[in-house]
């Protein structure tokens, strides 16, 4: 004799029949509850996904802003101090923006 185990939120059909005999209309209420729970769970997952996407976008903007600030500071310092050359500052800026460009390409 084979038995198949079905994993479900709702009780077995035989149990649903017995519930329906005891309290008519209970099966419809149970199905409605399951549908509402599923909609609620999907909306929570959608909100979590939107928050994660927003966090990634904000993080990328923050990284770009900080790297731009560092690049400008390096250029300014290299321009004001004769010890560092302007060429080194420009190479640093280009390497920062190249790094950010490749990170953005990998994400998309």
Per-residue HEC secondary structure of 50-106 comes to HHHHHHHHHHHHHHHHHHHHHHHHHHHHHHHCCCCCHHHHHHHHHHHHHHHHHHHHH
Spatial distance between the Cα atoms of 90 and 94, rounded to a whole number of angstroms: 6
Q: Does some domain include residue 82?
A: yes
Q: What is the mean pLDDT of residues 24-51?
A: 93
Judge whether residue 103 has pLDDT over 60: yes
Q: pLDDT, tens digit, for every residue of 75-92? A: 777 667 655 566 666 777
Domain containing 101 equals 13-107
Is residue 81 situated within a structural domain? yes
- Domain membership flag for residue 87: yes
Share of the chain above pLDDT 70, in %: 81
As a whole number of angstroms, the distance between CA 12 and CA 8 comes to: 8
Residue 59 domain-assigned?
yes
Rounded to whole angstroms, the Cα distance separating 15 from 87 reads 79
How much is the pLDDT for 29? 92
Q: Domain for residue 8, yes or no?
A: no
* Domain assignment of residue 78, yes or no: yes
- Is 60 within a domain? yes
Q: Is residue 1 part of a domain?
A: no
Domain count, the chain: 1
pLDDT on residue 12: 84
């Amino acid at each position: 004799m084979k038995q198949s185990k079905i994993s479900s939120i709702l009780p077995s059909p035989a149990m649903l029949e017995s519930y329906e005999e005891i309290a008519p209309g209970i099966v419809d209420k149970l199905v409605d509850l399951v549908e509402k729970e599923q909609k609620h769970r999907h909306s929570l997952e959608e909100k979590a996904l939107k928050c994660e996407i927003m966090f990634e976008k904000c993080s990328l903007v923050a990284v770009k802003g900080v790297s731009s600030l560092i690049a400008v500071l390096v250029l300014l310092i290299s321009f004001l101090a004769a010890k560092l050359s302007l060429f080194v500052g420009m190479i640093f800026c280009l390497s920062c923006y190249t790094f950010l460009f490749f990170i953005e390409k990998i994400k998309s």
